[in-house]
Amino acid sequence: MTTLVDISLEDSISIFEKDLNSDVLLTWCFPSINDQLRQVLLNKTSLEKEKISLNFSFSKYKNTWIYIHTTSIDHSSGTIPESLKRVAAFSICITRNHFNPEKYSSLASILSNVYLALGDCSKLLECQLRVINRGQFDVGALGKFVDSSFDVRRSYLATSIKDVIRLFGEEIILIWSAMAMKKRVVVYSEKLISLLKVIRALPLFVFHRQNWNILRPYVSINDLEIKDLQSTGIYCAGFVDPSIKSRDDLYDILIDLSSKEVSISSYSKDQFVLGSFHKDLLRFMLESLDNDEVSDQALIKGLNMKMKELLSKLESLKEDDGKITLESLESRKLPNGMSTFLFNIANAEGLNG
Amino acid sequence: MHIHLSEIEDNTTIKDLDTDLLYKCILAYLKVINENKVTNLTSTLPKNMSSRVNSWSLIANLIKDLGYRADLSFHNLLYPNINDTRRILIFLGQNLPKKEIDQTGSGGASTVKIEDQICLYLQGCIKESWMPYFCPFSKRVPGNYSTARLFTTQEVKIPFRGRQLKVTPGLEEYFTHFLPPITNQPNRFDDLAPSVFEYNLSIYAEAQERDLEWKRKGSASGLNPIEYKKQKLKNVLNKMNDSIRTSMMESGGMSEGSRGGRLESLSELISDFRGYSEDSEGQFSRKKDFTNELSNQSTVAVPAAAESTETEEERQAKRQAEIDRLQEQLNQLSQKISSFARDMENFAQQMRQQEALGNEQDQQREGLEKAYKIKKKTFSLLDDAEGNTKELQALCNQTSANILEMSGEWEKVRKPIIEKYRSLKDRANNEADEAKSKLDRIKEMRALIRKLVEEVQQKEELFQQLQQAYKEAPKDANRSIYTLRILETVKNIKKQKVDIDKVLLDTKNLQKDINSITDTAVRTFDLVKDLLYNDAKKDPIAKQAIKSFAVIDEKFQKLFKVIDETGSFQNNVLTLESKIDYITVKTNTLNSDRIVNDLKNVKTENQNLIKTIKSKMQQE
């Protein structure tokens, strides 16, 4: 029954092919995709670029998760099916409405194998239908897929939170604040693969929300996607285009993986005043780094605990009408900057109703 | 000046200028140039030979001082030849002060050589360099401000036809009803010509540049000219946007608040500038208001001042108080503004978060709705769970099979279509390649055409030059005369050739004779020597003979030498003679008779002088 809830009509598989004339074409799709989505998919496949990226990538547009597996065809081997004779590379794009890169990476690579071996789209369709109906299929030597063997919780924890903390050191507290206060976060990296690896770990800092839907792991700069991004409100968006650095209207905080720097946009500076609470939290994070006995899960749990403490404290600060205002916080003579932080947290957690 | 002109009127050419007249001319020039230096010269050339020479050498020095570069001394002037005279007069003319030219030019009475004056003036103008109006005046043509002119240009608008007229609404109406005639467009009437020139030049240059670019890059891009232009415009705009954005980024940290780093495109920047200008207008009006107020105040203040009893310090204190008050107000206001800005930012933040929440909940709702529908359906089927499950499974299988079948059918259609598309694309690519190669050929041909055109132009120029030369060549010369002359010459040459042959033959014979004679002489000499030596052993007379023989030989050698020398001297004499001839010819152009005459005069004068000196000495 669970699979049925997850599957919707928008779940589709599509194939983009780049032929020997460097012409990229949507050659097959089931059941259907709209024009916008097709354009976004095309941007993500990297087929139109000179250098085709063969890494598995995942991204999100509107409410659709996009999983892409690209295969290049080696024409020197003689076992290519007739229909792929003129194709240089193809991308299998899977769109789903939930986050699970591991599952769909596996599915996409099996489908790629099938398509490369047979060149027959109806075979892919069969696989797709089997997944929907039975949650599994087996195509012998080409691979075996079992839907239930991929737990989403494992996907959540796929990247070690400790690695991310280690990567940024003390600046990790800025990232934590941004996530806790629900700010707009932009991650930039030259390499897609490291971008995806880091960005999927960011929601771990606010595990109590269990919300991976704020991720936009891989966004290209074009009107379509930027517009979608802006309409989302808050997000964690990943970019590989360096011109994002100059678009500080799009982020409150910019994480640059290439230079390992975190910068705050000029007009949100006063939102990021750090106090003793942050210091404690940072110490907690850095200490658990050095302690091998503290696992990722334990660290996440610890962060969760701290957050809960904070929230219960906030609960106690509520006014009589059940609201928390900046003025009321300021009147309690909290340390400098703390009132702003608490107010932001209260807003982010919806304590203000 | 006038003297010289009136004198010249009787003479038509420089050739007719004799030394007296030349003296007057040059003196007139020098007077105009620098009166002080010629005060000790008489107005006409003195008859006395030595004073003549004196005056002329004085003048020659003066002219040299003025900067005359060619060789010049008194004899060039005393015995004038045409070339020197012309050169000197032109030089003096160029050295005249400019005002003088204007006066004589406007005088108009002497129309004879007015063209010369125009030429001189224009020559002077060429030396001036034109400078744009914004150069400081002091840096322009040094020393010649009288003719310096501000050549300023203004943009002129000229109506045109074409696409733009159709595309831009109201342009035609503007042209027909509102655009002032071109003569009214520049602010100063003097600017009209330069403005039009510049407009013309800029259009021409632009067209040429565009043509060049089109030939170099444009035609290779495979677009038509209009598309190419559009693309270029887009590129330029993009580039500008990018650079503005990045520079805004760089300065974003420093510039305060809302302006920093928020500008995204050129148009925004421009509108921002516009905002500034509006602002400055506001400033201007405020200033106006301020001054009005001030004047009001001052009118009020005048009577107040009349009866004012307050001291300077009090006023100062009052002012200070007011300033403090205003400052406080200002501080309050700016505080308020910043707090509002912060609130706004907060609200924006909250709005974004709420939006995100809304989106999320929407999504959840969708999911829940679906789940609800499914669950509802499931409940309704729960009565006969097993049967229904089976039925559903069957239905699923059935549908899947159907879909698969259909997909198989679709594959049959899809594959050929894609195959066809690709082959068509292949063909198109091939055609594009072909087109490209054709384009390349066209380019080559264009280059060839250009080269040919250049060649044609060169040939045309040559043709014109030749035609000019042909026109200038004397027309009356008859062809047959030339032929005759040529024939005659040929005949002469033939004759001469025969003569030369004869002479050559003679020379050869002579050489032969000389050789044989020399041979016999040498042999005879050797023979005689041997004989004499043989005899010398027995005969003392023979010994004597050997001695005499040796002496004779020596003498002969000397003789030969002398003969050789004579020959070379004769050659020298010949060359010298030819040189003398040449020089005589050259000196004949000088008026040798006159020189002899003058020499005689000088001699008689000298004798007279000697006589007077002698008589004086005797008297003493």
Instruction: Quote the pLDDT of residue B464.
Output: 94
pLDDT digits (tens, 9 = 90+) for B556-599: 889 989 999 999 999 999 999 999 998 887 776 666 777 888 88
| Cα dist from B104 to B86, B108, B294, B396, whole Å | 20, 7, 62, 117
Q: Are A227 and A235 in contact (CB under 8 A)?
A: no
Among the candidates B218, B242, B271, a domain finishes at: B218
Residues A8 and A32 both lie in one domain: yes
Is the Cβ pair B418, A214 closer than 8 Å?
no
Among the candidates A154, A184, A213, a domain finishes at: A154
Half-sphere exposure of B473 (CA within 13 A, CB side): 9
Q: What percent of chain B has pLDDT over 70?
A: 78
Strands A144-146 and A136-138: antiparallel
Task: Compute how many other C-beta atoms are within 10 angstroms of the C-beta atom of residue B571.
Answer: 10
Residues B83 and B6 both lie in one domain: yes
How sure is the predictor about B257, in pLDDT bands with cuts at 50, 70 and 90? very low
With tokens 């047959």, the residue in question is B480
Residue type, B492: N
Q: In this structure, is residue B95 part of a structural domain?
A: yes
C-alpha gyration radius of chain B: 55
Distance CA A171, CA B197 (A): 65
Instruction: Quote the pLDDT of residue A11.
Output: 82
Distance CA A333, CA B449 (A): 87
How sure is the predictor about B132, in pLDDT bands with cuts at 50, 70 and 90? low
Q: Are B179 and B157 in contact (CB under 8 A)?
A: yes
Instruction: Quote the pLDDT of residue B112.
Output: 58
Distance from CA of B392 to the nearest CA of A (A): 11
pLDDT (average), residues B41-63: 80
**Cis, peptide link before residue B474, omega less than 30° from 0:** no
Mean pLDDT of chain A: 85
Q: What percent of chain B has pLDDT over 90?
A: 20
pLDDT digits (tens, 9 = 90+) for B511-521: 999 999 989 98
Judge whether residue B388 has pLDDT over 50: yes
Q: Which of A122, A183, A350 sits opposite B404 (nearest CB)?
A: A122
DSSP A306-329: HHHHHHHHHHHT--TTS---HHHH
Nearest-CA neighbor of A181 among A337, A12, A5, A7? Answer: A337
Distance from CA of B401 to the nearest CA of A (A): 9
Distance CA A131, CA A116 (A): 20
Judge whether residue A9 has pLDDT over 70: no
Chain A with chain B: Cβ pairs closer than 8 A = 102
Among the candidates A248, A271, A294, a domain finishes at: A271
Judge whether residue B425 has pLDDT over 60: yes
pLDDT (average), residues A241-255: 88
Residues B62 and B110 both lie in one domain: yes
Domain of residue A24, CATH code: 3.30.450
Chain A neighbours among B 306-365 (CB < 8 Å)? Answer: 342, 345-346, 349-360, 363
Residues A45 and A111 both lie in one domain: yes
Instruction: Quote the pLDDT of residue B370.
Output: 86
Judge whether residue B268 has pLDDT over 50: yes
pLDDT (average), residues A161-188: 89
Question: What total of structural domains would you count in chain A?
Answer: 2
Question: What total of structural domains would you count in chain B?
Answer: 2
Distance from CA of A292 to the nearest CA of B (A): 37
Distance of CA A144 to the CA centre of its chain: 26
Among the candidates B151, B185, B218, a domain finishes at: B218
Tell me what percent of chain B is helix, strand and coil, each rounded to the nearest 5.
80, 0, 20
Contacts of A122 in chain B (CB under 8 A): 404, 407-408, 410-411
pLDDT digits (tens, 9 = 90+) for A35-52: 888 889 888 888 888 888
pLDDT (average), residues A103-109: 91
Residues A93 and A230 both lie in one domain: no
Residues A99 and A146 both lie in one domain: yes
pLDDT (average), residues B164-170: 80
- 3-state SS, B475-501, equals CCCCHHHHHHHHHHHHHHHHHHHHHHH
The phi-psi region of residue B257 (left if phi > 0; otherwise alpha if psi is between -120 and 50; otherwise beta) is: left
Comparing alpha-carbon positions, the chain A residue that sits nearest to B257 is A267
Residues B110 and B51 both lie in one domain: yes
Is the Cβ pair B345, A268 closer than 8 Å?
yes
- Residue spans of beta strands (DSSP E) within B19-178: none
Judge whether residue B127 has pLDDT over 80: no
Residues A212 and A134 both lie in one domain: no
Q: Judge if ipTM > 0.85.
A: no
Q: Are A239 and A221 in contact (CB under 8 A)?
A: yes
Q: In this structure, is residue B311 part of a structural domain?
A: no
With tokens 């699923």, the residue in question is B396
pLDDT (average), residues A257-275: 84
Among the candidates A154, A175, A201, a domain finishes at: A154
Residues A23 and A145 both lie in one domain: yes
Instruction: Quote the pLDDT of residue B437.
Output: 93
Nearest-CA neighbor of A29 among A84, A94, A81, A86? Answer: A94
How sure is the predictor about A8, in pLDDT bands with cuts at 50, 70 and 90? low
Q: In this structure, is residue A206 part of a structural domain?
A: yes
pLDDT digits (tens, 9 = 90+) for A50-100: 888 888 899 998 888 999 999 888 887 777 888 888 888 999 999 988 889
Q: Which of A121, A183, A235 sits opposite B407 (nearest CB)?
A: A121
Q: Residue length, chain B?
A: 620
Distance of CA B498 to the CA centre of its chain: 61
User: Which range of residues forms the domain containing residue A249?
Assistant: 158-271
Q: In this structure, is residue B542 part of a structural domain?
A: no
Mean pLDDT of chain B: 79
pLDDT digits (tens, 9 = 90+) for A278-320: 888 888 888 888 887 888 888 899 889 988 888 888 888 777 7
User: Is some CB atom of chain A closer than 8 A to the CB atom of B236?
Assistant: no
Instruction: Quote the pLDDT of residue B136.
Output: 58
Judge whether residue A152 has pLDDT over 60: yes
Residue type, A18: K
Distance CA A262, CA A271 (A): 15
Burial string for A173-199 (b: 16+ CB within 10 Å, else e) reads bbbbbbbbbbbbbbbbbeebebbbbbb
Q: Which of A4, A125, A267 sits opposite B407 (nearest CB)?
A: A125
User: Is some CB atom of chain A closer than 8 A to the CB atom of B429?
Assistant: yes
Report chain B's terminal Cα–Cα distance, integer Å: 49
Judge whether residue B130 has pLDDT over 70: no
Residues A50 and A94 both lie in one domain: yes
Instruction: Quote the pLDDT of residue B320.
Output: 92
pLDDT (average), residues B372-391: 84
Distance from CA of A131 to the nearest CA of B (A): 12
Q: In this structure, is residue B56 part of a structural domain?
A: yes
Residues B63 and B177 both lie in one domain: no
Instruction: Quote the pLDDT of residue B135.
Output: 59
Distance from CA of B386 to the nearest CA of A (A): 15
Residues B68 and B150 both lie in one domain: no
| Cα dist from A182 to A251, B229, B352, B519, whole Å | 11, 47, 9, 130
Is the Cβ pair A23, B425 closer than 8 Å?
yes
Comparing alpha-carbon positions, the chain B residue that sits nearest to A352 is B350
Distance CA A122, CA B401 (A): 11
For chain A, helix (H) and strand (E) counts, in that order, are: 13, 12
Judge whether residue B191 has pLDDT over 50: yes
Burial string for B584-606 (b: 16+ CB within 10 Å, else e) reads eeeeeeeeeeeeeebeeeeeeee
How sure is the predictor about B261, in pLDDT bands with cuts at 50, 70 and 90? very low
Residues A168 and A118 both lie in one domain: no
Judge whether residue A201 has pLDDT over 80: yes
Is the Cβ pair B249, A267 closer than 8 Å?
no
Residues B26 and B95 both lie in one domain: yes
Is the Cβ pair A122, B411 closer than 8 Å?
yes
Q: In this structure, is residue A299 part of a structural domain?
A: no
Residues B150 and B73 both lie in one domain: no
Q: In this structure, is residue B242 part of a structural domain?
A: no
Q: Are A172 and A116 in contact (CB under 8 A)?
A: no
Comparing alpha-carbon positions, the chain A residue that sits nearest to B260 is A266
Nearest-CA neighbor of B241 among B215, B205, B266? Answer: B266
Q: In this structure, is residue B23 part of a structural domain?
A: yes
Among the candidates B102, B127, B152, a domain finishes at: B127
B100 or A11: which carries more pLDDT confidence?
A11
Residues A119 and A195 both lie in one domain: no
Is the Cβ pair A86, B422 closer than 8 Å?
yes
Interface residue of B418, B431, B433 to substitute, partner A, most A CBs within 10 Å: B418
Residues A125 and A190 both lie in one domain: no
Q: In this structure, is residue B422 part of a structural domain?
A: no
Instruction: Quote the pLDDT of residue A131.
Output: 84
Beta bridge partners of A253: A185, A264
User: Which range of residues forms the domain containing residue B176?
Assistant: 141-218
Q: In this structure, is residue A285 part of a structural domain?
A: no
For the stretch B428-432, contacts whose Cβ atoms lie closer than 8 Å and that sit 24 or more positions apart, written own/partner, are B429/A21, B432/B222
Q: Which of A129, A234, A267 sits opposite B356 (nearest CB)?
A: A234
A269 or B106: which carries more pLDDT confidence?
A269
Instruction: Quote the pLDDT of residue B290.
Output: 53
Q: In this structure, is residue A298 part of a structural domain?
A: no
Domain of residue A231, CATH code: 3.40.50.11500
Instruction: Quote the pLDDT of residue B477.
Output: 64
- Residue spans of beta strands (DSSP E) within B416-550: none
Judge whether residue B98 has pLDDT over 70: no
Distance from CA of A276 to the nearest CA of B (A): 23
Residues A7 and A131 both lie in one domain: yes
Q: In this structure, is residue B72 part of a structural domain?
A: yes
Residues A136 and A165 both lie in one domain: no
Residues B145 and B60 both lie in one domain: no
Strands A87-96 and A64-72: antiparallel
How sure is the predictor about B151, in pLDDT bands with cuts at 50, 70 and 90? low
